[in-house]
Amino acid sequence: MKKVYSILVAFLIVNCTIYFQFNPSYAASSISSPFDAERIQPGFNFAVVGDMGCSSMAQKVINHINNKTPKLILALGDLSYQRSNADCWLNIVSPIESKMKIVLGDHDYESDTLLKQYKSYFNLSQEYYSFNYENVHFIALATEIPFDMKSSQYNFIKNDLEAVSKNPDIKWIIVFSYRPQYSSPTRHPGNADIRAIYHPLFEKYQVDIVLQAHNHNYQRTYPVNYNQVEPSSPVVADNNPKTYEDPVAPLYITVGTGGATLHKFEGRESYVAAQYLGFGFLDISITNNSRNLTGTFYDSSDYTIEDHFTVIK
């Protein structure tokens, strides 16, 4: 019998109903379809937000996130702004908490009781960790505990990046953290120590996006390289405002817009492609068989789109 396709399809027509029978015995290597080279990924979206608290606006932001049905939610620290008990915040996020991964901010260390509650609730043995979701590798960088080159955290992240760089199934690497490495002038400057240690490491292992909070506003840099001469002024690798093809440097994105009182801007750095003062969240979609990453920042006060960008590989 002549083999036309690698999968034998038998059509049985009974009472005008068509049945498909697939024979799995043919080897995948014999498939001649143009899609044979890789398994088709259906794509997914995930939400990002930090600096929430227990206000009515935080509730609105969480409801807005839930309406977008993300597969995953990254919470970037300063979760409840409570000193000893996070129940008010946990009640707000209860519709999405099963999808949530967290990092911790300075307010989350207000007491040992509060810290233990977060770690127990989200089953964290360490504040830093990593995981995969489809073709994306996520790394949680903990900025409130030791992160220097002699720390266990640094060794973990370095070894993790080295291992994932050799994994052909991983298409994107995304780091999420609390304290920003870069920022336009506002409440908190970029953290020089974190930047000096981790930006060169992220460049080496081709991290795509670094998510951060602490400043209660939204900011997105161009793809930027570390500047050895003037570290607070990174070198812009691509100054296209919204679309980046195979960038050779990570984008740094601040999303401290979850409900806590906003921090006004006092200017805009030249390496910042977009910034916005308002409450909301960032939605990131992985599509086109994991080749496209598209980010959209939604204002949760009036449901408008305030930033939109695409990275293509």
Q: Is residue 28 part of a domain?
A: no
| pLDDT at residue 37, rounded to an integer | 36
What's the farthest any 2 CA atoms get from each other in the chain? 77
**In b/e form, how buried is each residue of 281-307, taking b as 16+ CB within 10 angstroms?**
bbbbbbeeebeebbbbbbbbeeeeebb
- pLDDT for res 41: 62
Residue 192 in domain: yes
18 within domain boundaries:
no
Q: Which residues of the chain have pLDDT under 50?
A: 1-38
Global confidence as pTM: 0.87
> What confidence score (pLDDT) does residue 90 get?
98
pLDDT at 269: 98
**Inside any domain, residue 32:** no
d(CA 180, CA 279): 18
Give domain status of residue 109, yes or no.
yes
* Structural domain containing residue 138: 41-312
DSSP state letters, 5-71: SSSEEEEEEETTEEEEEEETTS-GGG--STTTTSPPP--EEEEEE----SSHHHHHHHHHHHHT--S
pLDDT at 158: 98
CATH number at residue 66: 3.60.21.10
| Sequence-separated (6 or more) residues with CB below 8 Å from residue 197 | 147, 148, 149, 154
Residue 26, pLDDT score: 29
How many domains does the structure of the chain reveal? 1
